[in-house]
Structure 1
Amino acid sequence: MKHAIRFASGLGSGDPPSVKIAFINSSAEPGKDGVGDYTYSLAAALRELGHSVLVIALRDRWLADPAHVITHDNAGGVSVERLPACLPLPERIDRAAARLKEFRPDWASFQMVCYGYHPKGLLFGLNRHLPRLAAACENWHVTFHELWIGFHKGALWKHRLVGALQRRSIKRAVRILRPKLVQTSTPLFRALLGTIGIEASVLPLPGNIAVEPETGFEWFLEILGEPGKAVVPEERKRHLAGGFFGAIYPNWNPEPFFSSLRAVVAKTGQKVSIFSAGRIGGGEEIWKQLPAVYPDFRFHKLGELSFGRVSQYLQNLDFGMAATSWLLIGKSGATAAMLDHGLPVMVTRNDYVPRGNIEVESLPDRLLIRADRDVSGRFLAGLPTWAPHPSVADLASNLVHWMEGAASASTGRA
């Protein structure tokens, strides 16, 4: 079902002067690294606004030859430097620092994903050399896409131990960089960072899928119908179509949500179709078992699609489904893509509860719906069909304003 789509306007006002921003992340192979794709889309949006952007991949796992350092401008006019993971760390740091000094950015933005910089997510080795990189720019910004592991109730003791080491190394990295602006993608991460003395704001994550024009949807109606008989537009409301985009985790449980769906269609008479688009990952076995457990539902595995097809797919669904837990939903790029398309998202897990007395702010997006709460009533009353959600262009504009504000505040304290 097509949804009316609206986006949040920028938080800042006026056009800021052109700035030079360098992004530091781990890998930058297009389509292979979620944070890398996020960085590319944000960098391209900043270029559209007239800013100069450099992306440095500090540990690119997709380059196997230590001599294969890639330096180029991508299609969006963004300068890119990719340093192979097989290069010795000191050499990668020195090359990155030299490139930063050559570029002379107003801001350097470190994209923090612990496992991107070390196989076990430990930053101690990086921290030994990080001061040389930190010295190459005065103003640092850090975005936390992931934190340490083992912080939730029921975590294995070895995960808690590794998490304690990760937490210590993260705290040290922040002390070295001395960022003037720290942001993260979820209220939970913001609260956890606060427990180690790091003050952060929540940065809404935009999706990486551009909204396509509302044309070319016949293929979806063919799949939705019976074999050899496409659903005609006049009969579309007789079908209730929900779907995943991306991974389904091995511990995902369709209950109680699927039972709630059964209760809904028992009253509406609709036919339920559940779709999966993209790579299912570890939940493949669960997906294979669903038709036998829910024979009254139809299941469709679409596999990997082009960006344009993904947009058409999302625009045709009645609701999205997320296998990420409620408190972690803000870091899901797949969920962000659904929200970008004005799609209400059923968050089907709420099993990730942090240890300790940690207060976590509620998620503000009205399109995010907890699937363990009166879902039947929400469906029968009518699901919301749009809500303001920041686009990548909004994020780029706001980021520059936030950086300006942080720099001004720092100058005022000096």
Structure 2
Amino acid sequence: MRLVFLCGSLEPGRDGVGDYTRKLAGGLIAQGHSASVIAINDKYIQETDAALQHDHGKGVEVLRIPASMDWKAKALLAETYIKKNNPDWISLQYVSYAYQPKGMPLHMVQAFAGLLGKYRLQIMFHELWLGEKKNAALKARIYGFLQKKIVRSMLKKGKPQVIQTSIPLYQKILSNHGIKAGVLPIFSNISDLKLPYDTYAGEIPEWLVKDREDFVIGCNFGSFYQESWDLTSLLVPFAAACKKIGKRPLIYSIGKISAGEKEWKELAAVYPEITFLTVGACSQEMISYWLTYFTDFGIITTPAFIAGKSGSFMAFKAHGLYCFCKENDLEFDFGVQEIGFDKSLILIRSEADFYIPKRNSTTNQLDDTMKLFINSLNSSK
């Protein structure tokens, strides 16, 4: 099968959906398909760049079109590239903010709708629109109304044969608005690389390597949203549980804390009985190494109903780690009880819910997603 993917940006390690798209394309190439990627609004470059990026051991042909270019010119460049590749399918990876800073990609839809309508089209909704939560602010509801109009226009003009989204909650919301979509789970951009222990042992703090068995270690990966969960209901029982079994509690942060860095640093003063460590931004290999050898559980401040779209959660899951999150507090004007939660999540409703988990079994997330993706395209023919 020949495929061309469209996404926002393709700067490695700087755009989650771009990394996801490249990895998916690389995996499909490894399976014998033809796949290339066009970044149609790349904010990390100033000039158009046709290059070869690598993932899954395969070279992936990419065309990166700068965000500064006029949308009509972008569409013309993309159309020329797509005609050359003659795909069986185009896959649009949709995040409204990837195509317009305020999440209103009207010009993108107007410029690309005609092109998309010429090919068999799959749309993957990584995000939807604002204003769906119960008692949402008026501004969010107005924004959401306009964002929905843009989505409906895109669907009407593009006529996609396959519509998918990452989590059951989004599937439910789309269904409520008359849009039939399947669920295509995302996979972790941080694969379990199964690295030998001595690969990076020299780069881990010496005291931690020496006394690893004395610690129980939790990990916060990426942003820390304290306003969503201040971790009190987790850290208090975590420290108490460690004391009871004669272990030392440690929480570390890895990756770029794009939000909540100040709040993260303040935790050490609030919980002096817990050791806090900031690893910071590092390679995918190093992150996989930490999750493999120096992590006992993950922590996410993302609400449970939307954990499935969190790259951090999927990275924990890919490494067999259970993940703590707070009791879900997202409310909607429709029933969500039947949606349920991922079995790798441990909801903290009270301090009594904490326990030190063992590692979980894992599956190859990328293989699972590719199989479902290709089957959904084949079944629509």
Q: TM-score, normalised by structure 2?
A: 0.92
Corresponding position: 1:46 with 2:38: no
Displacement, 1:149? 1.6
Q: Distance in 1 between matches of 2:348 and 2:178?
A: 34
Q: Distance in 2 between matches of 1:374 and 1:192?
A: 32
Displacement, 1:29? 1.2
Displacement, 1:186? 1.3
- Deviations, residues 252-298 of structure 1 (Å, cap 9, x unaligned): 31121112213422432321000000111221121121111111101
Which residue is equivalent to 2:344?
A: 367
- One-letter code of the match for 1:308? E
Which residue is equivalent to 1:74?
A: 53
Q: Residues 151 and 364 from structure 1, CA distance in 2 versus in 1: closer, same or farther, beyond 3 angstroms?
A: closer
Displacement, 1:170? 1.2
Q: Distance in 2 between matches of 1:319 and 1:160?
A: 37
Corresponding position: 1:182 with 2:163: yes
Q: Distance in 2 between matches of 1:366 and 1:384?
A: 13
Check conservation: 1:149, 1:159, Cα contact below 8 A: yes
Displacement, 1:375? 5.5
Displacement, 1:340? 0.6
Displacement, 1:349? 5.8
Corresponding position: 1:403 with 2:377: yes
- Figure out how many residues of one structure are paired with residues of the other and give that number: 374
Identity percentage of aligned residues: 31
Which residue is equivalent to 1:326?
A: 304
Displacement, 1:72? 2.4
Check conservation: 2:5, 2:36, Cα contact below 8 A: yes
Which residue is equivalent to 1:108?
A: 90
Which residue is equivalent to 1:241?
A: 217
Displacement, 1:130? 2.8
Q: Distance in 1 between matches of 2:259 and 2:133?
A: 21
Corresponding position: 1:348 with 2:326: yes
**Where does the alignment leave 5 or more consecutive residues of structure 1 unmatched?**
1-18, 408-414
Displacement, 1:73? 2.7
Which residue is equivalent to 1:271?
A: 248
Q: Distance in 1 between matches of 2:330 and 2:202?
A: 37
User: After the TM superposition, which of the residue ranges 98-107 and 333-342 deviates more from structure 2?
Assistant: 98-107
Displacement, 1:388? 4.0
- One-letter code of the match for 1:395? T
Check conservation: 1:61, 1:85, Cα contact below 8 A: yes
**Where does the alignment leave 5 or more consecutive residues of structure 2 unmatched?**
none
Check conservation: 1:204, 1:390, Cα contact below 8 A: no
Q: Which runs of 4+ in 1 moved over 6 A?
A: none
Displacement, 1:250? 4.6
Q: Distance in 2 between matches of 1:109 and 1:311?
A: 29
Q: Distance in 2 between matches of 1:170 and 1:192?
A: 13
Which residue is equivalent to 1:339?
A: 317
Check conservation: 2:241, 2:355, Cα contact below 8 A: no
Q: Distance in 2 between matches of 1:74 and 1:386?
A: 33
- One-letter code of the match for 1:151? E
Displacement, 1:58? 1.0
- Deviations, residues 361-388 of structure 1 (Å, cap 9, x unaligned): 4346322211225654643xxx241234
User: After the TM superposition, which of the residue ranges 331-340 and 395-404 deviates more from structure 2?
Assistant: 395-404
Check conservation: 1:250, 1:282, Cα contact below 8 A: no
Which residue is equivalent to 1:21?
A: 3
For the aligned residue pairs, the C-alpha RMSD in angstroms reads 2.0
Corresponding position: 1:34 with 2:19: no
Q: Distance in 2 between matches of 1:349 and 1:29?
A: 35
- Deviations, residues 88-125 of structure 1 (Å, cap 9, x unaligned): 11111122122222211111101000001111111322
Corresponding position: 1:136 with 2:118: yes
Q: Distance in 2 between matches of 1:146 and 1:360?
A: 21
Check conservation: 2:48, 2:63, Cα contact below 8 A: yes
Check conservation: 1:134, 1:177, Cα contact below 8 A: yes
Q: TM-score, normalised by structure 1?
A: 0.85
2:192 is paired with a residue of what secondary structure?
A: coil
Q: Distance in 2 between matches of 1:221 and 1:116?
A: 36
Corresponding position: 1:313 with 2:313: no
Corresponding position: 1:256 with 2:233: yes
- Deviations, residues 329-363 of structure 1 (Å, cap 9, x unaligned): 1111111111111111112362332x312435434
2:300 is paired with a residue of what secondary structure?
A: strand
Q: Distance in 2 between matches of 1:363 and 1:296?
A: 35
Check conservation: 2:222, 2:257, Cα contact below 8 A: yes
Which residue is equivalent to 1:198?
A: 179
Q: Distance in 2 between matches of 1:94 and 1:85?
A: 14
Displacement, 1:77? 2.4
Give the number of the structure with larger relative contact order, counting CA–CA contacts within 8 Å between residues 6 or more apart: 1
Which residue is equivalent to 1:63?
A: 45
Q: Residues 132 and 324 from structure 1, CA distance in 2 versus in 1: closer, same or farther, beyond 3 angstroms?
A: same
Q: Distance in 1 between matches of 2:206 and 2:300?
A: 22
Q: Distance in 2 between matches of 1:158 and 1:349?
A: 27
Displacement, 1:189? 0.9
- Deviations, residues 43-102 of structure 1 (Å, cap 9, x unaligned): 0000100111110111111122xxx21112323322211111111111111221222222
